């Protein structure tokens, strides 16, 4: 009996010792942590308790900072023209330029461009150069004079010029002051006088008094660039050329045929969309449409025959009745720019322009 009681006591003492070691080992890491921090647990507890509400808010703000989203970028304002015009003293908001047709392939662009030209050919079957001329010399002089003025003003001025100086030789020997007085209505008359007398001398001295039929020769004449040269080649010699004037540049960009702004690059880009044989008539169609319907400031979109093919539809007036009032020349019932237009134009209802001083 005594032996069994002693064994029980020894077992109990072993068990209590083991439990004491276990609890000590559990407390050891905590104590080590306190020692590593260099301050007793009580001090840490006190400092934690001393944290102010402001400190807690600052900590919360730091945690929340990464979740803050940036405000979306503002889109450019697109305001109706009527609405902005009604506000006095405030510049109208810039409208966003229409984008080219989405996903339009090169083949689709060529087809659309050629279809536009076919449609315009039906609208303007009588399209022609709107400068009066009887020979290549008159055409090259008239084209030089057309810079910074209308074809109408040139056509009203050249009859007196060619009546007095009918040949290159005559104009080459002219007194500049007398030519200036004739050309005064066209504007920039001194510079233009210098150009037409200079090109007349070049024709007389270098080309036997004849207008050359090659591009490389024409551009050597004073006042003659690629645009003037192509007008002469296409309409006096029947050689295809693209005339990139201000109307042509405006329309081909509106139609998204090209995004180029340099005339030579526009010529190359548009020329690649059409057969070379179409270039001269294409120039007439585009320029005529720009002068009559697709104006620079107020295009008559509601009266445009190619509206379904135009990516820029809506830039101008879309109401059909209001758009009709914007049409010019024969499309609006007004006289054209030529004093002596072709018969086909007259047969289509066109009217000749009045002479200078007739209104």
Active site residues: 227, 245
- The encoded tokens of residue 229 equal 């040269």
Would you give the distance in Å from CA 279 to the centre of its chain? 22
Residue 304 and residue 283: Cα distance in Å, rounded?
18
Residue 221 and residue 206: Cα distance in Å, rounded?
10
Q: Please check whether residue 218 is in contact with residue 228, taking contact to mean a CB–CB distance below 8 angstroms.
A: yes
- The encoded tokens of residue 20 equal 């004491």
Q: Please check whether residue 137 is in contact with residue 218, taking contact to mean a CB–CB distance below 8 angstroms.
A: no
CB atoms inside a 10 Å sphere around CB 14: 10
- The encoded tokens of residue 84 equal 């902005």
- The encoded tokens of residue 150 equal 């209308």
Q: Please check whether residue 159 is in contact with residue 339, taking contact to mean a CB–CB distance below 8 angstroms.
A: yes
Residues with Cβ < 8 Å from 12, sequence gap 6 or more? none
Q: Please check whether residue 231 is in contact with residue 139, taking contact to mean a CB–CB distance below 8 angstroms.
A: yes
Phi/psi at 129 (5° precision): -65, 135
* Helix extents (H) in the chain: 2-37, 41-49, 53-64, 81-85, 106-123, 136-145, 151-164, 168-172, 176-183, 189-206, 215-218, 226-236, 246-254, 263-271, 279-292, 320-324, 343-347
- The encoded tokens of residue 28 equal 């050891």
Residue 295 and residue 316: Cα distance in Å, rounded?
9
Torsion angle, alpha carbons of 147, 151, 157, 160, to 10: 110
């Amino acid at each position: 009996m005594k032996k069994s009681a002693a064994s029980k006591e020894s077992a109990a003492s072993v068990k209590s010792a083991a439990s004491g070691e276990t609890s000590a080992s559990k407390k050891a890491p905590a104590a080590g942590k306190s020692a590593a921090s260099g301050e007793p647990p009580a001090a840490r507890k006190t400092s934690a308790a001393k944290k102010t509400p402001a400190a807690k808010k600052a900590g919360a703000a730091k945690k929340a900072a990464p979740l803050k989203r940036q405000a979306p970028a503002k889109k450019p304002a697109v305001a109706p023209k009527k609405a902005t015009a009604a506000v006095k003293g405030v510049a109208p908001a810039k409208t966003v330029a229409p984008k080219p047709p989405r996903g339009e392939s090169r083949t689709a662009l060529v087809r659309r461009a050629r279809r536009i030209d076919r449609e315009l050919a039906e609208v303007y079957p009588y399209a022609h150069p709107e400068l009066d001329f009887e020979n290549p010399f008159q055409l090259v002089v008239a084209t030089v004079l057309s810079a910074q003025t209308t074809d109408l003003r040139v056509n009203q001025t050249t009859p007196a010029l060619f009546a007095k100086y009918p040949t290159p030789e005559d104009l080459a020997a002219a007194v500049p002051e007398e030519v200036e007085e004739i050309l005064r209505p066209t504007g920039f008359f001194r510079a233009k006088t210098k150009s037409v007398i200079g090109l007349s001398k070049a024709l007389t001295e270098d080309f036997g008094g004849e207008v050359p039929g090659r591009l490389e020769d024409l551009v050597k004449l004073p006042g003659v660039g690629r645009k003037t040269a192509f007008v002469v080649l296409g309409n006096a010699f029947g050689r295809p050329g693209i005339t990139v004037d201000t109307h042509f540049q405006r329309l081909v960009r509106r139609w998204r045929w090209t995004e180029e702004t340099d005339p030579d690059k526009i010529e190359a880009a548009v020329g690649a969309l059409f057969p070379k044989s179409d270039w001269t008539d294409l120039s007439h169609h585009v320029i005529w449409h720009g002068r009559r319907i697709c104006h620079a400031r107020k295009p008559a979109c509601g009266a445009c025959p190619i509206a379904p093919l135009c990516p820029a539809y809506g830039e101008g007036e879309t109401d059909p009745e209001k758009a009709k009032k914007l049409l010019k020349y024969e499309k609006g019932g007004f006289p054209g720019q030529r004093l002596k237009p072709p018969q086909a134009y007259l047969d289509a209802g066109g009217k000749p322009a009045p002479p200078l001083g007739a209104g």
